[in-house]
Amino acid sequence: MARVVDRAEVRRLVTTEHAQLLEVLPREDFESEHIPGAVSLPLKELNATTAEGLDRQRPLIVYCDDFL
């Protein structure tokens, strides 16, 4: 199960553990504005094939617009 983290922990994971940031909102939202360094993989497109582009060796941080 994914561990819920706050902003400070996100920054630490990215900085010290080279975590990947994954935005799962629709691509239009990502193109409008996203966290620097994040990649886009909308939830509707998330499957075994599209997930192959993610690095399984690094921590993966998933985010959307907010906590809702």
Partner 1 sequence: MAPRAAARLETLGFRNLFEYKGGKQDWFAAGLPAAGRRAAEPTIAGVLHRDVPRFGLNERAGPILDRLRAGGWEWGAVVNPAGILLGRIRAADIRNPEATAEQVMDEGPSTYRPNVRLDELLARMLDHRFEMAFVTDPEGKLGGLVTRRDIARALNAYRRAS
Positions in the binding site for partner 1 (CB under 8 A): 1-7, 9-10, 13, 19, 21-25, 30-38, 43, 46-48, 51, 54, 56, 58-67
Nearest-approach distance from CB 68 to partner 1, in angstroms: 8
Quote the least distance from Cβ 57 to partner 1, whole Å. 8
- The CA–CA distances, whole Å, from 39 to 46, 57 equal 13, 16
**Cα dihedral value 32, 18, 52, 34, nearest 10:** -10
User: Maximum Cα–Cα distance for the chain, whole Å?
Assistant: 31
CB of 1 to partner 1, least distance (A): 7
